Chain A
């Protein structure tokens, strides 16, 4: 029941907000997301009490009897982590839009909340079909957000993005149908699929159906070419949604719908998957070094970071999986931070080329401080949130193959190269002639960035609660998937 409420709050809010006008739209959306966040904490407290949790959190009603499709939603540690991430980022994403003028803002925020609804749905569905519906549903609002509120060349870019990901989803749908007919229970329930594996002979084939779908969403090399354009064209709040939460759908799905369901297929093709991920880490980092567009630079850096997460997951060991989960949270926070900083700069200067920026620190010291904290968070400096995750991921990869870990470890060096280069060009040095005025942070901007900065340190200094939250589920996935 509680899970259903988590699902309904954004849906109802997304409908209600359509009837509002002007500033109240933003305030209402912010209010709704805050309610959702507070409710998440309540759900977490229930979750801690194992006995009560079972009856309160899961719903399993028959929806269609044949083919057997159930409305099955529940929460486990991993779902909760993802729901927590979404609900933590949502208020920040909404708050980021304050003090900005926006046409038809009631539709915009309705779409944002609808997206929120779909994302939560993806994370709590335990029936393959239901999950697929939410997965596709999430695509619709972001399509319209990018199409209507995006930047230059938005229709081409958005179409490419839409078709790209839709093509992947179709492969996944096909995979699900195949699973349905070729397992003897004829059910897409996660609980059935994880126990009742499809014949190993067919797993290799299914692996690619799912893998490509997720690889496009995450995105992994070479399925990534939609991403830099989309990230730089979409309105910033859209980019935040995409990079902060939506790409986590792909990573989450690897752990939820790929590893435990077709373990043998995964085991068979892990070398290829890891190779793709690790190459992607280095490849994207190297590209990021010479990027001049600040949003594209962050887009490529994001490809590198999620590539590392995926590589750790495919290393198929405890620390890789656990590290991947922790890092999803960290990456979500940091990536929202960097894109917001990029947005603040572009909004103030009308310029996204790092070569024609510079000296902003002289005019906006507070902004400079937050920005460097977020930059340090994304280069995984110890005591920031992404350090423990990156450490565990790399250790996971190391256990799989030490050379792969050294390759992937180059991100430590290359990440510093492109991030510090960017920061130096944009923020340091003397004032560029294009930057004559740069107002320091407004209240909402400061609130968002301060929250992110605090989160970066809190999770960096106290990693234990998060590690403990995901530990049981990582153990479970590990057991289901690999302990025969």
Chain B
């Protein structure tokens, strides 16, 4: 019953090395971390560079538009369902591999400097390596179960890393919240898998795709499957209504926020939809749901971002907002544009987080922007690179964010003008709050204590090097996807073309937009961004406005600053009732009803025993009397009833 495929491909070795190297790093650090000391950081980084090299090898050696399945083992089977442990190497997975291992290694390098004084140094790197291992499984698997292993595995690592400083119970709460919210999504993912197993008898991407194509457009089964998968995505990629864990996840060390909660893990949802693009294309209703959820999230998070004063929280809401933008792109069937934004966003958001980490490092742990200001003078490299990241995310040409964002906005304009308007507004807000962040942090004068001021210093080379490299990428990465008005070769789109080819056949192709129209759109987007930046400049640099202390915030600002009280609402609607129900079940059902019944039975038995005991008097006369009476009754029954 087992099929054996002998691998002869020259891609076999590099493919299995990619996940194995970080796994090896994890074991080395987990087992010998204490003895290795600071060497563990370098080992963790080295294995990741190795994985990056292997990914590059795959990138260079995979034929254009080709794909290859590398089977490690026939993992297990039940009934007629075979689950292989196999990797799928195609342009989509290679794109993700390069992002994960590339940016991952830079963040590892950065962490060596950032975590230098932490007593959990080697533990930190073992978790990071483990995370990379699971993330790689997630994007490499050739079936949904392997993807799910990675999916839950990264959730675990996220849990471990958010709660890395486990002495602080608030951090532990954040970690637990992230894990549980993700598990709500995972239930959706699992149900989606069950439906696939039920209808297609397989979880392999290719088999499922073929099965789905047979069912055809708009089939209810596919709509359900995709909706359930999207529930999983909402958890992992922090979309409405399951997004609240991501801002809290900022409790983790900053490199973790950069790696997991900006560049890689949270984009897993986009990867999953892109990977299942045929299914989603066959389910137009699901795509509409995704479009609406994405747009709403993008806008909602951007609004909250306006009023945050914690430097990492601003970036967290910005991540949620940008993810929303990516989902909006997917919802319009523009899978390449969504993936393109994943890539550019990975560069500039990792850069921004690492930059924020460098600021926090300089400030000795301070994260409140109200206590910063004027840092541009002290930490020049951080300032310059951070500025590049901010310009990139704001959508100013020719930085990376401009190209990917522009593509999504152009698609939205064709698709639906309202969506375009909302997304443009959200982008405008993004430009505003990001420059608010920059101005509050780096310009005007320092607002903190003198003690902190003396401490301020530029970060070591291990930290600034990754910043510089990422900044370079944030400048140039956009050129792999030039808009048609500039060039007709969209490198990124061409590279991924084979992955989305089938979807393109199913979905109605949008007509080519006129160049003049596109120029107008670009002009509008850039103007809006510049206006926001000017507005932020006017408010925070010219007027030197500093956000008020928390207790002085009133009215609508207070509602926004408190994130629309969503956490409180969830607490009241879900958490509290479940706790109440728990007590109710225990006290009322378990103790009162069930146990009462049990005790009642015991009591009745006891009472019957007591009553019958009275008959055992020991008087022989009474016994004989009873016997005679009984015999008479039996006789009477015999005579009158039976006859």
Contact = CB atoms under 8 A, between A and B. Distances in A.
Nearest to A464: B76
Interface in A384-428: 388, 391-392, 394-395, 398-399, 402, 405-406, 409-410, 412-413, 416-417, 420-421, 424, 428
Contacts of A383: 149, 153
Contacts of A420: 159, 176, 179-180
A406 B195 CA distance: 12
A406 B231 CA distance: 13
Nearest to B160: A372
Given A318-B78, A412-B183, A424-B172, A391 B585 contact: no
Contacts of A413: 180, 183-184, 187
Contact of A409 (B153, B191, B579, B582): B191
Interface in A19-43: none
Given A319-B79, A413-B183, A467-B76, A382 B148 contact: yes
A428 B78 CA distance: 39
A290 interface: yes
Given A420-B176, A428-B172, A394 B194 contact: yes
B169 A362 contact: no
Determine the main DSSP class of A at the interface with B: helix
A287 B152 contact: no
B186 to A, nearest CB: 6
Nearest to B585: A287
Contact of B169 (A283, A287, A428): A428
A471 B579 contact: no
Contacts of B585: 283, 286-287
Contact of B187 (A382, A409, A428): A409
B595 interface: yes
A376 interface: yes
Contacts of B77: 464, 467
A430 B78 contact: no
A376 B191 contact: no
Given A225-B594, A392-B78, A428-B166, A290 B579 contact: yes
B620 to A, nearest CB: 33
Interface string B584-627: 01100110001100100010000000000000000000000000
A225 B163 contact: no
Nearest to A406: B191
Nearest to B34: A365
A361 B579 contact: no
Contacts of A257: none
A323 B78 CA distance: 9
Given A163-B602, A382-B152, A382-B153, A286 B578 contact: yes
Nearest to A362: B167
A287 B198 contact: no
A362 B582 CA distance: 31
Interface string B171-206: 011001001100110110011001001100000000
Contacts of A362: 167
Contact of A424 (B169, B190, B198, B594): B169
A148 B311 CA distance: 61
A219 to B, nearest CB: 11
Contacts of A428: 163, 166-167, 169, 172
A121 interface: no
Nearest to B599: A160
Given A225-B594, A382-B149, A405-B191, A361 B166 contact: yes
B191 A398 contact: yes
A381 interface: yes
B156 A376 contact: yes
Residue of B74, B168, B191 with most partner-chain A CB within 10 A? B191
A151 interface: no
A410 B191 CA distance: 11
Interface in B381-425: none
Contacts of A319: 78-79
A424 B166 CA distance: 9
B194 A464 contact: no
Contacts of A230: none
A213 to B, nearest CB: 16
A222 B148 CA distance: 34
Contact of A222 (B78, B183, B191, B594): B594
A429 interface: yes
Contacts, number: 113
A406 B598 CA distance: 31
Contacts of A398: 191, 194, 198
A405 B179 CA distance: 21
Contact of A391 (B79, B156, B190): B190
Interface string A298-322: 0000000000000000000011001
A290 B586 contact: yes
Contacts of A438: none
Contacts of B595: 225
Chain B interface size, under 10 / 10 to 19 / 20 to 34 / 35 or more: 35 or more
B568 interface: no
Contact of B78 (A283, A417, A429, A471): A471
Contacts of A417: 180
Contacts of A424: 163, 169, 172-173, 176
B75 interface: yes
A409 B183 CA distance: 10
B78 A409 contact: no
Interface in B120-157: 148-149, 152-153, 156
B581 interface: yes
Contacts of B567: none
A225 B601 CA distance: 14
B68 interface: no
A286 B197 CA distance: 29
A289 interface: yes
Contact of B190 (A283, A287, A381, A394): A394
B197 A410 contact: no
Residue of A399, A416, A430 with most partner-chain B CB within 10 A? A416
A368 to B, nearest CB: 9
A311 to B, nearest CB: 14
Nearest to A164: B598
Contacts of A391: 190
A463 interface: yes
Contacts of A402: 191, 194
A170 B191 CA distance: 41
A359 interface: yes
A412 B186 contact: yes
Contacts of B583: 290
Contact of A289 (B79, B163, B191, B579): B579
Contacts of A395: 194, 197
Contacts of A318: 78-79
Interface string B543-582: 0000000000000000000000000000000000011011
Given A286-B578, A381-B152, A409-B191, A225 B198 contact: no
Interface string A211-230: 00000000000101100000
Contacts of B602: 163
A30 B356 CA distance: 57
Contacts of A392: 78
Nearest to B171: A428
A392 B586 CA distance: 30
Contacts of B153: 381-383
B582 A290 contact: yes
A163 B595 CA distance: 14
Given A287-B586, A416-B179, A463-B76, 18 more contacts: A283-B589, A286-B582, A289-B578, A289-B579, A359-B167, A376-B156, A382-B149, A405-B194, A406-B187, A410-B187, A412-B186, A412-B187, A416-B183, A417-B180, A420-B159, A428-B169, A429-B167, A467-B77
Closest 4 CB pairs of A and B: A290-B582, A382-B149, A398-B194, A428-B166
15 contacts: A225-B590, A286-B578, A381-B152, A382-B148, A382-B153, A391-B190, A394-B190, A405-B191, A412-B190, A413-B180, A416-B179, A417-B180, A428-B166, A429-B167, A464-B76
